[in-house]
Amino acid sequence: MSENDRFERLLRAALPPTIAGAPGHELWTRVVDRLDAPRRWSRVDLSLAVFVAIMLSMFPEGLFLLAYHL
């Protein structure tokens, strides 16, 4: 038996293949709840908005540049 075969056996012995179980019953409800949840701003979006606001307060002339790019 090659070294690779031995290693794969060790892996499978330590972590046997999964046995498919039934998914939770409430999954559809969770999907619907997630879809209907109000969209929240992510941290990245918030940080970007704060950064832009700070930059605009420091360099108000940048507003024209921003408007041009939007």
Partner 1 sequence: MADEPDGELLRRFVHGDREAFEALFTAFHAEVHRWALRIVRDASAADDVVVEAFWRSYRGRARFDASRSFGAWMRRIATNAARDHLRTARRHAVRRRSSPDAQAASAPDRGVAEAVERALRCLPPRLQEVVTLALIEERPYAEIADALEIPVGTVKSRVFRATRALRLELTRLGIQP
Cβ at position 33, least distance to partner 1 in Å = 9
CA 44 to CA 42: how far, in whole Å?
A: 5
Binds partner 1 (CB under 8 A): choice among 6, 45, 65, 66 = 6
CA 13 to CA 1: how far, in whole Å?
A: 16
Is residue 38 a contact point for partner 1 (CB under 8 A)?
no
CA 6 to CA 11: how far, in whole Å?
A: 9
Q: Which stretch binds partner 1 (CB under 8 A): 29-37, 40-48, 49-57, 62-70?
A: 29-37
Number of H helices and E strands in the chain, helices first, is 4, 0
Q: Which is closer to partner 1, CB of 1 or CB of 67?
A: 1
